[in-house]
Amino acid sequence: MDYFEQLVHEIDGFSFSGWDFSYITETGRMQEGPVKWNYYSRIRPYLYTAERLLDLGTGGGERLAAFSPLPGETYATEGYKPNVEIAKRNLEPLGVTVVEVDGDEGPPYNSNLPFDDNFFDLITDRHEAYCPQEIYRILKDDAHFITQQVGSLSIANLIQLFDSKTLKFQTGT
């Protein structure tokens, strides 16, 4: 097997557990450029005073677990089935209630969450689609909704790299 064949073999043999990128980040093979804000540092001040937190689209719960100690009542939703069990395993020992939501419903996503009106002191959302009206409904007055979202340019660039027609154009210049 040459080096490239080894890489192909490695890719096809790999399966994700939640959104855990540590396999490629710990060795520095993948490195994110720094941005002007840090999601965790921006949330942290609110974590101290919040009594009831919701993490929308928690993935495998790895990020939320890293926020501990968490508010006394913490909930996490996840719609991607393979992640729900991983999230439970990561978060239930920390006292978090993991709620499975329907990830297959069409847009608007997360528009029917199983929580009461004016329920949360803080809602966090890293890279999960949200419905502003539904966030408004379940958030208490003067409470914060903090989200980091991936813009459309990220996906466009990936599609470009893995679209052979575009590649032909690139290599032909």
Partner 1 sequence: MQNGFEIADSDEEISFIRFYDAGALGIYVKAFPWVFPQFSAKKYAKELQYIHKRILKDGYIDIVYHLFFIDAVKRKKI
Asked whether the beta carbons of 78 and 59 are under 8 A apart, the reply is yes
For the bound state, the minimum distance from the C-beta of residue 136 to partner 1, rounded and expressed in Å, comes to: 5
Laid out side by side, the sheet with 97-100 consists of 97-100, 73-78, 52-56, 120-126
Which residues inside 71-130 make contact with partner 1, applying CB under 8 A? Answer: none
Among 22, 28, 49, 172, binds partner 1 (CB under 8 A): 28
The terminus-to-terminus CA distance of the chain in angstroms comes to 32
Nearer to partner 1, 95 or 156 (CB): 156
Distance CA 79, CA 10 (A): 28
Nearer to partner 1, 51 or 167 (CB): 167
54 binds partner 1 (CB under 8 A): no
Measured between alpha carbons, how far is 45 from 34 in angstroms, rounded to an integer?
Answer: 21
State the amino acid at position 76 in one-letter form.
A
Instruction: Answer for the pair 61, 80: CB distance below 8 angstroms, yes or no.
Output: no
User: Based on the number of CB atoms within 10 Å of its own CB, is 74 exposed (0-12), middle (13-18) or buried (19 or more)?
Assistant: buried
> Least distance in Å: CB of 65 to partner 1?
18
Single residue of 22, 26, 35, 66 touching partner 1 by CB under 8 A? 35
Both structure tokens of 43: 């949330």
Residue in this structure with the two tokens 């958030």, named with its chain if needed? 139
Residues 136-165 vs partner 1: string with x where CB under 8 A?
A: x--xxxxxxxxxxxxxxxxxxxxx-xxxx-
- Return phi, psi of residue 117, to 5°: -65, 150
37 scored as a contact of partner 1 (CB under 8 A): yes
Task: Pick the binder of partner 1 from 30, 81, 97, 108 (CB under 8 A).
Answer: 30
Q: Determine which residue in the list 1, 22, 26, 33 makes contact with partner 1, applying CB under 8 A.
A: 33
- From candidates 32, 44, 87, 114, binder to partner 1 by CB under 8 A: 32
Binding site for partner 1 (CB under 8 A): 4, 6-12, 14-16, 19, 21, 23-24, 28-37, 39, 42, 132-133, 135-136, 139-159, 161-164, 167, 171
